[in-house]
A and B are shown apart, each in its own frame.
Chain A
């Protein structure tokens, strides 16, 4: 019998026993739905993480130099960072590492009172080099950014983030206004374009930036940096740049083996990989759960098919008597299992995609439908039907027609 006719026959048989067919579909449906949804949500999360990193770093053509060794956690600030990255290091990297185009630096601090009128807030504070905005790909939405002249003259000027603008100047033009940072007066010069959430999910707009020289000498009286971004001439050379910068800084800091680095050089790609890796461990566990649901679905198909085979012995006998061979019967039952499982998979895909869209609208993540996962799920559902249908089909093919037709 040809495959088209066998499938048509399977569909007719399945539609005659709707409840059983539904039960057979259920497990595969749940398994495939969760697989599809998980794969899609996982992909969406990964893409969103990437986007957030991009927003945080502006571009991926940099390597990041932070004070402190490999075990250092969290964003280094003036209170937490060891005082190891100095202006001499910055100049040496810019001059001696050929792969580096320019170096931007920052002094990062928080827990500093910022006042305007009767409002007191505590945003994050960044002293930044004039090329910081360029290296990070930041833009000024209103007014002007920090210039080389501001830095050279240690000007008391400030560019504020959008969230800070909302907090301090909800209804007035902030440009030219004076705010007090740790009781030092600064003039608002510009407002940064909003950047949205960082990789951790916190807003990156509740912040202000002042010239790093002003921060260093007039505000904090610290001569070390909490971070550097070394912009590369060729982003593909990040690994070599990391090696060169590491070697240079070890030499400058007088570190000899077995002494460990007192700084960390990473590329954004490596950081993204680390974050998405955590995500993928989680989704691996959940994928396992979904796979188990699918397997249970397969076992349900197998048991219900076995019951069906014994209930349909007479039908098998009739078909054999009128000319069906063992192989025809095997194909018939195998096809039924594959079709029911595939239908379960199809519904599961629809439910999974629907769930993904719902999840996307709830989490406000843009949905990512993974077509490869959908195709894989469809193929997998057919395979589950074939594998778990094999034993029942084999049993059906070996029903003795004479016994089955008696009585």
Chain B
């Protein structure tokens, strides 16, 4: 599904000095895998996820998504790829205010060129446990509910790949656990999930963990606590 090799991302500060965020990153993620990317703050996790999500382009190196080298796609083609193949979940939910849950979920469908399927939006909201909240304004929802609306939105166009950047970062542990449970269920359905976190407990839900340190892959290993162990879950 995902193949990155020798990925480099160097930002340029306002004064012109270069900031190397990713120095040399290579790995492969297969279809249906559930992977966490973990590392200290500033290690380059978000930079990597933005490239994987086609929101950003690497300075050098290649990124193949579904066998296609998307690293030098135009804005138009990257937008199309995001629309069809990728669902984003953010730490800060990023729902549109003054808009209902269902309207938020529908947004990706606006950019497909086809009709907007309200029924599908409602069905997905039901799937994330918010069937009765569809017409609520997002400001009327709790943090955990808002994040589940955001997940529903990520699922609207049925993308094979879900990318989440600290999805539980703004939630208390109970809400965080329910969000992680939801992501685990989506993984069981066959979706590929890449999740950025610095939380070991969250990482324990995944089957594989890529450690990033200073823009380099420090470790890439199967998640030891995985295999559905109750101990791992309780840590979250």
Contacts and interface: CB of A to CB of B under 8 A. Distances in A.
* Chain B, interface residues (CB within 8 Å), range: 20 to 34
B96 A315 contact: yes
Contacts of A407: 92
Interface stretch (A92-100, A101-109, A222-230, A316-324): A316-324
Interface string A364-407: 00000000000000000000000000000000000001100111
B84 interface: yes
A217 interface: no
A73 interface: no
A123 B157 CA distance: 88
B53 A323 contact: no
Interface stretch (A29-37, A42-50, A126-134, A325-333): A325-333
B88 A322 contact: yes
Given A5-B110, A401-B55, A402-B50, A323 B94 contact: no
Contacts of A317: 94
B25 interface: no
Contacts of B53: 321
Interface in B45-70: 46, 50, 53, 55-56
Main secondary structure of the interface of A (DSSP, over half): helix
A407 to B, nearest CB: 6
Contacts of B82: 320-323
Given A318-B94, A402-B56, A405-B90, A326 B111 contact: no
Interface string A248-272: 0000000000000000000000000
- Point out which of A314, A325, A402 has the most chain B C-beta atoms below 10 A from its C-beta: A325
Contact of A321 (B76, B88, B92, B112): B88
A9 interface: yes
Nearest to A16: B98
Contacts of B84: 323
Contact of B79 (A314, A315, A320): A320
A401 B156 CA distance: 20
Given A321-B88, A322-B88, A323-B84, A328 B107 contact: no
Contacts of A328: 79, 111
A406 B90 CA distance: 9
Interface string B80-102: 10111000101010111010000
Contacts of B191: none
A325 B110 contact: no
A1 interface: yes
Given A323-B157, A325-B79, A318 B55 contact: no
Nearest to A327: B76
A323 B56 contact: no
Nearest to A329: B79
Contacts of A321: 53, 55, 82, 88, 94
B38 interface: no
B80 A320 contact: no
A395 to B, nearest CB: 16
- Point out which of A326, A327, A406 has the most chain B C-beta atoms below 10 A from its C-beta: A406
Given A321-B94, A326-B79, 11 more contacts: A1-B111, A318-B107, A320-B79, A321-B88, A322-B82, A322-B154, A323-B108, A324-B111, A325-B79, A326-B76, A405-B92
Interface of B: 46, 50, 53, 55-56, 75-76, 79-80, 82-84, 88, 90, 92, 94-96, 98, 107-108, 110-113, 153-154, 156-157
21 contacts: A1-B110, A1-B111, A1-B113, A318-B94, A318-B95, A318-B107, A319-B107, A320-B55, A321-B55, A321-B88, A322-B83, A322-B88, A322-B157, A324-B110, A325-B76, A325-B79, A326-B75, A326-B79, A327-B76, A328-B111, A405-B90
Can you list the 5 inter-chain pairs with the closest CB atoms, starting with the nearest?
Answer: A323-B83, A325-B79, A322-B108, A323-B111, A321-B88
